[in-house]
A and B are shown apart, each in its own frame.
Chain A
Amino acid sequence: DVKVTQSSRYLVKRTGEKVFLECVQDMDHENMFWYRQDPGLGLRLIYFSYDVKMKEKGDIPEGYSVSREKKERFSLILESASTNQTSMYLCASSAILDMNTEAFFGQGTRLTVV
C-alpha cells in the first residue's frame, strides 16, 4: 500500500515559533503537495514540488516555506507561527501524469497556534 506519513497528528505551538511539519512518502512519487483544510474553505494548496529542490507556490503561500532535499520527504515550514495558521495540514504525493495520477494523502496534522 502507498503510504504518506506525517510526523505529527497534533501540534500546539506558540505565536512566533518556527514550526516544521514533516511528510514522507514511500512510493517514489515525483510530486508532493501541502494543503491546509479549513471549514467552509475546503483544501487550499500552499506549495507543491515536482522534483527534488523544486517548488512552486500554490494559492496561499504567504507565511510558509517548503523544503525538498530528498525525493521522499517534503517539509512545510512556518517561519513565525501566527494564530491564523491554526488549521489542519494535509500532505499528499502523486506520480507524474503518465502513471497513476491520483494523489495519496497523509493522515493530517492538526496545528494549534496559541
Chain B
Amino acid sequence: AQSVAQPEDQVNVAEGNPLTVKCTYSVSGNPYLFWYVQYPNRGLQFLLKYITGDNLVKGSYGFEAEFNKSQTSFHLKKPSALVSDSALYFCAVRDGDRDDKIIFGKGTRLHILP
C-alpha cells in the first residue's frame, strides 16, 4: 500500500526567501507524485506532478519539485516566497503500475512572513 509523509505541520519563511516543503513517499510500483495547494474554504488545486523524465518538475505559480528516487522524496520548492503563497500544501502519491487510489499526506501549512 502507498503512503505519504509530510514531516512538518507548519513552515514559516520570510517573504523573498527560498522555501522548501518536504514530502517522502512509499509505493510498491512506480511512483506518480503530486503537489496540491488549498486556500481557505476552497478545494484542492493541482500544482505539479512527477510521472517520469526529469527529476526537477516545474509547476504553477513558480513552484517546482525535485524527485529523488534513492531518498523516496519529492520536496516542493520555490526560489523566492510571496505572502500570497501562504496556504495548506498537500503531497500525494499514486501507484503507477495500477489504476488505483491517490493517497495524500497530512498537509503542511506554509506561512510567508512579510
Contacts and interface: CB of A to CB of B under 8 A. Distances in A.
A97 B96 contact: yes
B104 A50 contact: no
Interface in A12-50: 30-31, 33, 35, 40-45, 48, 50
Contact of A107 (B9, B43, B98): B43
Indicate the member of B45, B96, B102, B103 with the most A CB atoms within 10 Å.
B102
B99 interface: yes
Contacts of A30: 99
A5 B41 CA distance: 15
* A contact patch SS: strand
Size class of the A contact interface (CB-based, 8 Å):
20 to 34
22 contacts: A30-B99, A40-B9, A41-B106, A42-B104, A42-B105, A42-B106, A42-B107, A43-B44, A43-B90, A43-B104, A45-B103, A50-B99, A97-B32, A97-B99, A101-B49, A101-B51, A102-B34, A104-B46, A105-B43, A106-B43, A107-B43, A108-B42
Interface of B: 6, 9, 32, 34, 36, 41-46, 49, 51, 90, 92, 94, 96, 98-99, 101-107
